[in-house]
Structure 1
Amino acid sequence: MPLRISIASALSLAIASTAIAKDNLFNPDISLILDGRFGAFDNESDYELPGFMLGGEAGRGEEGFHLGHNELAISANVDDLFYGKLTAAIADHEGETEVELEEAFIETSALGNGLNIKAGRFFSSIGYLNQQHGHAWDFVDAPLIYRGLFGEQLIDDGIQVSWVAPTDIYLQLGGELLRGERFPAGGASNDGKGASTLFAKIGGDIGESHAWQLGLSHWRAEVEDRTSGGHHHEGEAEEVPTYSGDSDVTGIDFVWKWAPLGNASQRNFKLQGEYFIRDEDGDVIMDDGSESPESTTYDGEQEGWYLQGIYQFMPRWRVGLRYDRLESDNKGSDEEVLAEAGLDNEGHKPERITLMGDYSHSEFSRLRLQYARDDSYEDSDDIVMLQFVMSLGPHGAHRF
């Protein structure tokens, strides 16, 4: 019996073949990061860092069993010139599931001469740790200075231009022009060009077993109505601290790595530290919805640093130690308003020491136990955290 194919069937087969061909041309990497945690605290009071207006996701997390920072990422080459990536963050907050568009950017891949351009929403290249996703950190949480200045991490919309010099030693120079609407900026001033960043990184190898990198960075913003956590007094409306003015952050970071003959699979050690200082000059208003809220002039200086060491003493097993310290010197025309806004340092210099140990069965899985003695505010806190981080699907290599 002869085989008969109708025109409609032939057209359907052609469309299907075309679809398959197109599908083969677009084959993105899809990965899912699963982050589960357990937390136990001694101090039940609200979290604060005296001298710092907290915003973003700043805080010590939740007690008991809870989800951490889960991520769904899709990335692929667009063509021979562009690469694109989208990352959605999925987390629980006060019993509700929240989904946030964390990254959505395109990046050039073949401009040549060491030049690279990135545009969209991305992690700023300020400092060292800020460029890394939370699941790549060596501790469960960010250092105190990141919590106090950036609300954990600095993410913004804009464009980044960077250049790697054609030299034997690694040298990268770059800058970012950002919208400046997300914390720690605010208001998207200057027609949506309210913040900018400059950065430089230099590094190299010393023999076969050592590598180092030094970074300098500066971020500035014209802030309009940056909000912080609200204050509520019984029988009164909630007051929301709001800052408007200039903000400048300058940072230096250093990383040194050791692995015998460059083989990090057996043993390795990493020493990492960062220092940041922020200067702000403007006005703080305690917005309570009235026509004449309390306000003060504000001249602020906050600084802090951390130093941490991570030692892999045998395959799959690591231990780490981190020390954080902050201090601030904030002045204004009304000290009571500064105190209400969280800008009174209360004669206290926040500090914390953290010890962690983790086990990685493979590059896709990690189990971690962490203990911190946290003296961020008046009452000391003992914090114990358990964490698992699992990667389903491919994920890109992490930077130096």
Structure 2
Amino acid sequence: MSTRLLQSAAVVAAILSTAAEAAGDSSFNPEISLILDGRYGSFDNDSDYELPGFMLGGEAGRGEEGFHLGHSELVLSANVDNLFYGKMTAAIAEHDGETEVELEEAYIETLGLGHGITAKAGRFFSGLGYLNQQHPHAWDFTDAPLIYRGLFGDQLLDDGVHLSWVAPTPMFVKVGAEITRGERFPAAGASNDGVGASTFFAKVGGDLGESQAWQLGISHWRAEVEGRTSGGHHHHEDEEGGHETPTYSGDSDVTGIDFVWKWAPHGNATERNLKIQGEYFIRNEDGDVVMDDESDAPESTTYDGEQKGGYLQAVYQFMPRWRIGLRYDWLDSDNKGSDEEVLAEAGLDNEGHTPQRFTLMGDYSHSEYSRVRLQFARDESYEDKDNIITLQYIVSLGSHGAHQF
């Protein structure tokens, strides 16, 4: 058994022990839940995964083939007192045969400040877009859309502060802002003395009669990037047989729009319901890309990048417990620089390819605590087209909070 696995097991044991002790104290009774995620994956080809025109990082990738564990989570949450609420999420996953435990969320949030104001501090998923704040077990498909994979490494999270305000109006109106460290992908370097990224977002929504509801959002994220590396790209091999790692430094701006519409007969979603959602993002970057080969004079190029894409999906519950869904997502990029060969080595040449993917899924939920899903994707996101089949189960042991609109 590896040292890393022993350390991971020790961390999980310590968390569970602390949770059990807390639960036994009548003055402090946190909600505890464990999300278990298991999968079987089948691919048509074994080539290295890439998204032409994008430097990949974070959790970006198509997953593993065969039987494997997915993204399991241990969640503890509770009201601290009448002013604060606290939550911690530990993500447990396996990468390259190694079990890893990551502190995914750890934040406090205010309660009852009044005037529609809420503040949050710690590590959290950004309010950017619509899907980003949802945990993977709450997604309607097994994996993230291509645009989330290409821009955020599946999801954008960071350490910092979050402030939002809900207006006292008949129509739902919410605006918010975040100031974060900017050290995690797609930012890097924690520039500006550890205040290297910021996010602004606004959402409006409402009901259309008793059977329909809608929400529209816009958001913007900006970071000063210092040394972002590409963890997901297949690193270029130099003439001496070593590997070069592409590194980006400069400005990064992402602007997005999101929309969701829901229908349920007379507002009763238990029998039938339909949800249509979509998002579109565009990223502009201006800086330099360096192929770091640990030499005194690595290759480099100026970089002026534009990357964009989105997805549109529909999920229909046609009878109690049973759903089907269809998603289409696509990407595009227009990256320029002073040395096109370096851009190509860094994975920033789109190779004349426009990535796209068609995904069909069906799932069965025996209760709100269990779900079994079968998914098929025709993946044309890189040169070697792929047919991907995924069988997944998701179960929740213990209570878990409600999901957003």
TM range (shorter): over 0.9
- Are residues 69 and 20 of structure 1, via their aligned partners in 2, closer, same or farther at CA, if it must alter by over 3 Å? closer
Which structure is larger by alpha-carbon Rg, 1 or 2? Answer: 1
1:300 pairs with 2:305 = yes
Alignment match, 1:284: 289
* 2:14 aligned residue: none
Q: Give unmatched runs, 5+ long, in structure 2.
A: 1-20
Task: For residue 354 of structure 1, give the secondary structure of its aligned residue in structure 2.
Answer: strand
Partner of 2:197: 195
Partner SS for 1:191: helix
SS in 2 for 1:25: coil
Matched, 1:357 2:362: yes
- In 2, the alpha carbon distance for the partners of 1:58 and 1:379 equals 17
SS in 1 for 2:151: helix
**Code of the aligned partner of 1:223:** V
CA distance in 2, matches of 1:241, 1:361: 46
Gaps of 5+ in 1: 1-18
- The letter of the residue matching 1:379 is D
CA-to-partner distance for each residue in 1:334-366, whole Å, 9 max, x for gaps?
000000000000000000000000000000000
Match of 1:216?
Answer: 218
Q: Please give the alpha-carbon distance, in whole angstroms, between the structure 1 residues aligned to 2:23 and 2:189.
A: 46
User: Which residue identity lines up with residue 281 of structure 1 in the other structure?
Assistant: D
- Please tell me whether the aligned partners of residues 23 and 30 of structure 2 are also in contact (alpha carbons under 8 angstroms): no
Counterpart in the other structure of 2:79:
77
Find the aligned partners of 2:239 and 2:209 in 1 and give their Cα distance: 64
Deviation at 1:23, TM superposition (A): 1.3
Does the C-alpha gap of structure 1 residues 319 and 20 become closer, same or farther in structure 2, counting only changes over 3 Å? Answer: closer
Q: Deviations over 1:90-127 (max 9, x none)?
A: 00111110000000000001101100000000000000
> CA–CA distance in 1 between the matches of 2:365 and 2:327?
20
Counterparts of 1:121-160 in structure 2 under 5 Å?
121-160=123-162
Out of 240, 244, 259, the residue aligned to residue 245 of structure 2 is: 240
Closer, same or farther: CA 143–41 of 1 in aligned 2, 3 Å:
same
Over the matched positions of the two proteins, sequence identity in percent amounts to 76
User: Partner residue of 1:171?
Assistant: 173
Looking at structure 1, the residues matched to 241 and 294 of structure 2 have their Cα atoms a distance apart, in angstroms, of: 11
C-alpha distance in structure 2 between counterparts of 1:38 and 1:103, whole Å: 27
What residue in structure 2 maps to residue 255 of structure 1?
A: 260
Structure 2 counterpart of 1:354, which letter?
Answer: T
Letter of the 2:154 partner, please give it: E
* d(CA) in 1 for partners of 2:138, 2:40: 18
Shift in Å at residue 234 of structure 1?
A: 7.0
Q: Secondary structure at the match of 1:261?
A: helix
Match among 38, 47, 50 for residue 49 of structure 2: 47
Q: Deviations over 1:268-313 (max 9, x none)?
A: 0000000000000000000011111000000000000100000000
- The residue type paired with residue 177 of structure 2 is G
Once residues 237 and 179 of structure 2 are traced to their aligned partners in structure 1, the CA distance between those partners, rounded to angstroms, is: 36
Matches of 1:319 and 1:21, distance apart in 2: 39
| Cross-structure match for 1:114 | 116
The structural deviation recorded for 1:21 is: 12
**Which residue in the other structure is 1:12 paired with?**
none
Distance 1:261 1:133 in 2: 28
Aligned residue pairs, count: 382
The 5 Å alignment of 1:366-381 reads 366-381=371-386
**Residues 255 and 21 (structure 1 numbering): CA distance in 2 closer, same or farther, change over 3 Å?**
closer
SS in 1 for 2:141: coil
Relative distance call for 1:181 and 1:21 in structure 2 (3 A) is closer
Residue 154 of structure 1 aligns with an amino acid whose one-letter code is L
- In 1, the alpha carbon distance for the partners of 2:197 and 2:58 equals 17
Q: For the Cα contact (< 8 Å) 2:22–2:28, is it kept in 1?
A: no
Aligned with 2:326: secondary structure? strand
Does the alignment pair 1:311 with 2:313?
no
One-letter amino acid of the structure 1 residue matched with residue 74 of structure 2: L
SS at match of 1:239: strand
Structure 2 CA distance for aligned equivalents of residues 154 and 236 of structure 1: 34
**CA separation of 1:74 and 1:331: change in aligned 2, threshold 3 A:** same
1:46 alignment partner, SS class: coil
Q: How far apart are residue 380 of structure 1 and its match?
A: 0.6
RMSD over aligned Cα, in angstroms? 1.2
Q: Does the 8 A contact of 2:328 with 2:359 survive in 1?
A: yes
| Structure 2 residue aligned with 1:332 | 337
Q: Is the 8 A contact 2:22 2:30 kept in 1?
A: no
Instruction: After superposition, give the CA deviation of every residue in 1:132-151 in whole Å (9 maximum; x if it has no partner).
Output: 00000000000000000000
1:266 to 271, 285, 302: 271
Contact residue 378 and residue 388 of structure 2 kept, 8 A:
yes
**Structure 2 CA distance for partners of 1:316 and 1:335, relative to 1, 3 Å:** same
Paired residue type of 1:160: H
2:229/2:246 contact within 8 Å kept: yes
State the 1:231 CA deviation: 2.7
